[in-house]
Amino acid sequence: MRSKPFIIGVTLVTVLVAAGGGVYAYDRAHADELTPGIRVGGVAVGGLTPAAARAKLEREILAPLSRPIVVHRGERRWTLSAREARIRADLGAMVDEAVARSHRGDIAQRTLRSLRGERSRANLEPAVQYSDRAVIRLLDRVRAAVKRAPRDATVSLSGAGVARRPSRLGRELQASALHARIKAAITSPTATRSFAAHTRKVRPKVTTDQLADRYGTVLIVQRSAFRLRLYKHLKLATTYPIAVGQVGLETPAGQYSIANKAVNPAWHVPNSAWAGDLAGKVIAGDDPSNPIKARWLVIFGGVGIHGTSDDASIGSNASHGGIRMHVADVEKLYDQVPVGTAVYIA
């Protein structure tokens, strides 16, 4: 007859063997299941078999990553397909990592965690790769399409007057910011894959306002029409009647500038045959024989704009090359025209 201790020992061994077998059977029964709560790229795969987890990851990670990247501006669209971007997601590696996390520890530890209903807090980052060069090529296409060079303001003087071409702002893509946004989203299955192409303004070197200040005053002399046009800040301000050079002593055409100014100037008579005995002399400003009346705006040499006592000559070819004006008109003009003013004689 067996002793009581022996029976107890046998019974204890039997219970331990049965318990061990139960633990082993329980662990084997759940060997193909991932730990509850475990995620891959935010996708819950806990409680699934590796095959089921892979299928779910294909649907919720790979499929969204297959959608193209789209950049838009207004009605324009530029796309980068997943194939062009060479997007690759190693789902097998993701699932293997999830399995390894689920099977960490020994059989007893795994069984105890399962019986306690413990959940994993692991969220594994998906192993997604792509070609950044493809993204840069996309940015280059967008950049070329939206870029607009700034245009400097220009002014051209002619007998018709002052023609101006206004400045225009340029435009360029904010490429660095767009690149960063695409990089942050291209490997994420939940991020937007549509991006606005924001631009920044590029200012011209010469603006319309700057040019208007530079050409604050312009004189256009229209010889055939016998008129002088005064422009202020590129806009016509006043038109005056004038007389210009007679045949053989024509007022010279071209673009010049006001070199000097004088009130009641002395007349330095040119050494020309037409001057006769006065050639080379200086006639004082208050001398009645001085034909340069009231004001003198020097263009170059002996040519300039001045008043005249021969009002009847205005509107004809009557001078010796200068530009005559009514005294009242030249006095008004004088105060509005600084030295350096552009003069175009057509």
Q: Looking at residue 276, what is its pLDDT?
A: 73
Q: Looking at residue 127, what is its pLDDT?
A: 83
Quote the CA–CA distance of 75 and 146 in Å, as a whole number: 12
Residue indicated by tokens 């034909």: 291
295 assigned to some structural domain:
yes
Shared domain check, 261 and 167: no
Q: Looking at residue 223, what is its pLDDT?
A: 97
Tokens representing residue 10 in the block: 């046998």
Distances (CA, A) of 201 to 130, 143, 168, 227: 32, 13, 10, 43
**Would you say residue 256 has pLDDT above 80?**
yes
Shared domain check, 207 and 226: no
CB neighbour list of residue 78: distance below 8 Å, 6 or more residues apart: 70, 71, 72, 138, 141, 142, 145, 197
Shared domain check, 310 and 326: yes
pLDDT tens digits along 21-32: 443 443 444 456
65 assigned to some structural domain:
no
pLDDT tens digits along 108-157: 454 544 545 555 688 888 888 999 999 999 999 999 999 999 999 999 99
Top pLDDT among 251 and 271 is at: 251
- Please report which confidence band the pLDDT of residue 5 belongs to, taking 50, 70 and 90 as the band edges: low
Shared domain check, 269 and 315: yes
96 assigned to some structural domain:
no
Top pLDDT among 259 and 106 is at: 259
158 assigned to some structural domain:
yes
Instruction: Give the mean pLDDT of 83-99.
Output: 90
Shared domain check, 283 and 187: no
Give me the CATH number covering residue 334. Answer: 2.40.440.10
Shared domain check, 321 and 231: yes
Number of compact structural domains in the chain: 2
Shared domain check, 262 and 197: no
Domain boundary among 188, 211, 234: 211
Q: Looking at residue 22, what is its pLDDT?
A: 45
Shared domain check, 142 and 227: no
Shared domain check, 272 and 163: no
pLDDT tens digits along 269-291: 777 777 777 777 788 878 888 88
- Please report which confidence band the pLDDT of residue 99 belongs to, taking 50, 70 and 90 as the band edges: confident
Decide if 205 contacts 154 (C-beta within 8 A): no
Q: What percent of the chain has pLDDT over 90?
A: 64
Full residue range of the structural domain in which residue 258 is found: 215-345
Distances (CA, A) of 56 to 95, 113, 193, 298: 11, 25, 21, 90
Q: Rounded to the nearest 5°, which phi and psi values hold at 195? A: -135, 140
CB neighbour list of residue 109: distance below 8 Å, 6 or more residues apart: none
Domain boundary among 189, 211, 233: 211
Average pLDDT, the chain: 87
Quote the CA–CA distance of 276 and 126 in Å, as a whole number: 103
- SS3 string of the chain? CCCHHHHHHHHHHHHHHHHHHHHHHHHHHCCCCCCCCCEECCEECCCCCHHHHHHHHHHHHHHHHCCCEEEEECCEEEEECHHHHCCEECHHHHHHHHHHHHCCCCHHHHHHHHHHCCCCCCEECCCEECCHHHHHHHHHHHHHHHCECCECCEEEEECCEEEEECCECEEEECHHHHHHHHHHHCCCCCCCCEEECCEEEECCCCCHHHHHHHCCEEEEEECCCCEEEEEECCEEEEEEECEEECCCCCCCCEEEECCEEEECCCEECCCCHHHHHHCCCEECCCCCCCCCEEEEEEEECCEEEEEECCHHHCCCEEECCCEEEEHHHHHHHHHHCCCCCEEEEC
Instruction: Give the mean pLDDT of 223-251.
Output: 96
Shared domain check, 202 and 258: no
pLDDT tens digits along 30-70: 456 888 889 988 899 998 999 999 999 999 999 999 999 99
Domain boundary among 195, 211, 227: 211
